[in-house]
Amino acid sequence: MISTSASSAFRSSFETLVASLSGLSAGHCNVTRVAIQLLIVCLFSCCGCGSATSLEELANRGWLAYLSKDQEKLTGAMTAADKLDKRSGEARFLRGLTLVRGGQPELALVALREATRSENLQKRVRIAAAQAYFDLGQFSAVTEVLEQALRIDGDDIEAHRILAGLYYDIGANPRAIHHLEAVARLDPRDPRPHRLIGLMRKDFQDYPAAVSAYRESLERGPADSLAAEIRLELAQSLSEQRNYAAALDALDETTCTPEVLAVRIRCFRILGQMSELKRAVSE
């Protein structure tokens, strides 16, 4: 399909050609026809209508559908790529993505290995392969292909996210924190990386670092439900630092749950605020 700008360019060039050829004798008709045909061929060849561009666009569209887990759009992109060139790296890449989401990791890896022949797909192929290896329980292969992806592009946020989650699950906290910090840097609006960093720091009783991480998470404007959880964890960390007044301030806008009440009672008791303690218990 020709873009609007290409269509306008064609119309303008065509009108210019017609104007320049107006008044020619009948003997020049053949020349006119040939010139118009050549112009059409040139314009169409410059409009980006080749299959390579279309395949690249389909690969990009399919990748976005894969990340958002939109199986319908992903399948549509794969089908369209197959019609253009079933043997292309892009078509095999999209087939691999579809098989990953379809729960067929072994077949997905076969298709993705074939797609590695396309230089521009190297990073994405490895990220998709990581999910297939994860589904097969081959965790060492997961980390290997994701580290390879990061050697291609050190700022790929998806690779950092997966590695952070994987390292967190197996208790490799320093590595998990490294990748969470990368995710936080690459997506300044996401409050979750610093929240997870806070949890890990808190679990290892590194309360000053936990407090710093929780405060950074709250600065990013998390949703109300998540914000309440972060404030509770922040208050618990502050309480462990014996900063009881700050802990109470952190819970000031938080709905009273049994966990919140426990922190408040402890702080009021230690601070000697007996009237506030009685009010908290009675509520």
What is the structure's pLDDT at 118? 83
CA dihedral (55, 163, 188, 198) in degrees, to 10, reads: 160
Q: pLDDT tens for residues 118-128?
A: 888 999 999 99
- Own/partner pairs for 69-73, CB < 8 Å, 24+ apart? 69/101, 71/98, 71/101, 71/102
- Alpha-carbon distance of 131 to 91, in angstroms, equals 19
Question: 95-149, pLDDT tens digit by residue?
Answer: 999 999 999 999 999 999 999 888 889 999 999 999 999 999 999 999 999 999 9
* Res 35 pLDDT > 90: no
Pairwise CA distance, residues 11 & 145, whole Å: 50
Model confidence pLDDT, tens digit, residues 141-183: 999 999 999 999 999 999 999 999 999 998 999 999 999 999 9
